[in-house]
């Protein structure tokens, strides 16, 4: 976990290290609400993107945006080693001054977007001899950036509320709480996040379902859907909406894990 002052901006740190030897693994990337910074130290993986004719190697230090659908898969081989900083909804804007909307459904060389400090940070992380040491280095770097933060605006605060509620919120209620009309609220949110608030909530629900499933195989998809329905009913205050919420959850899952129809042969 990041240090306490960083938690409004950083969800967590993640580390992957595996030796695949001669094996080749394809790893599909589903929809997700958050942006991240990824540092690669092993064999660079290949990115297969439906919108591009050929695969491309990842950047040594990559700035990766939120995903609205499953458009890419990663081709992994050899020694795979990465360290990832998973950002909160407001983290990218607050810590680095980069609007979330600018990188949705894409990725960039973090050195080119944020600056040479990213390459320096990668070098320090690469010299660390453990995950704990890398967390400490990342914490120290990000804490120095806190002096440049300002209070998040309405869209970022709303995005944080959507994630905190696991996506079980009504967009109309969120708009009313901001004092904006529904249409103006949706425009402001989409302009900042690059995703409509309704889509953002759908992805948050999908992330919750995947997280619960990964925690225990006892959490069947049926049980997870039931739990999310109950949470949604409490939030939405719909006493007769059960069947419609279930259908919505099915739609969330299919939409977040499937390729866009335009990308299919």
pLDDT tens sequence across 146-161: 876 667 788 989 999 9
Mean per-residue pLDDT pooled into runs of 10, the chain (265 residues): 93 94 91 95 92 92 94 93 95 92 95 95 96 97 84 87 87 90 94 94 87 78 69 50 46 49 33
- Same domain flag for 199 and 180: yes
Residue-range definition of the domain harbouring residue 162 = 154-263
Strands (E), the chain: 10-29, 36-40, 46-49, 56-57, 61-64, 72-87, 107-109
Give SS3 for 216.
coil
- Same domain flag for 113 and 20: yes
Prediction pTM value? 0.83
pLDDT of residue 241: 40
Give the other-Cβ count within 10 Å of 140's Cβ.
12
pLDDT tens sequence across 95-126: 999 999 999 999 999 999 999 999 999 999 99
- Same domain flag for 232 and 194: yes
Structural domain tally of the chain? Answer: 2
Give SS3 for 187.
helix
pLDDT of residue 81: 96
- Sequential DSSP letters for 88-145: PTTHHHHHH---GGGGTT-EEEHHHHH-THHHHHHHHHHH-SSHHHHHHHHHHHHHHH
Q: What is the CATH number of the domain that holds 238?
A: 1.10.10
pLDDT tens sequence across 186-212: 999 999 999 999 999 989 988 888 887
pLDDT of residue 46: 95
Q: What is the CATH number of the domain that holds 51?
A: 2.60.120
How far apart are alpha carbons 188 and 158 in whole angstroms?
A: 11
How far apart are alpha carbons 222 and 250 in whole angstroms?
A: 10
Cα 19 versus chain centre, distance: 26
């Amino acid at each position: 976990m990041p240090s306490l002052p960083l938690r409004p901006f950083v969800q967590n740190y993640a580390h992957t290290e595996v030796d695949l030897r001669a094996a080749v693994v394809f790893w599909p990337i589903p929809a997700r609400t958050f942006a991240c910074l990824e540092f690669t130290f092993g064999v660079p993986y290949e990115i297969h993107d439906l919108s591009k004719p050929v695969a491309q190697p990842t950047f040594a230090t990559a700035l990766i945006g939120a995903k609205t659908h499953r458009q890419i898969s990663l081709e992994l081989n050899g020694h795979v080693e990465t360290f990832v900083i998973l950002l909160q909804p407001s983290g990218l804007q607050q810590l680095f001054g980069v609007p979330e909307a600018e990188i949705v459904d894409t990725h960039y060389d973090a050195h080119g977007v944020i600056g040479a400090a990213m390459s320096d940070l990668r070098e320090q992380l690469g010299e660390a001899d453990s995950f704990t040491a890398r967390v400490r280095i990342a914490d120290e770097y990000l804490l120095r950036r806190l002096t440049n933060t300002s209070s998040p605006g309405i869209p970022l605060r709303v995005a944080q509320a959507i994630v905190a509620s696991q996506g079980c919120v009504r967009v109309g209620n969120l708009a009313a709480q901001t004092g904006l009309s529904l249409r103006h609220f949706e425009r402001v949110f989409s302009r900042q996040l690059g995703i409509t608030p309704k889509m953002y909530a759908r992805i948050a629900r999908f992330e919750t379902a995947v997280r619960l499933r990964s925690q225990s195989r006892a959490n069947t998809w049926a049980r997870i859907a039931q739990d999310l329905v109950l949470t949604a009913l409490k939030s939405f205050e719909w006493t007769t909406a059960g069947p419609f919420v279930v259908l919505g959850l099915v739609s969330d899952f299919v939409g977040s894990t499937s390729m866009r129809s335009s990308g299919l042969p």
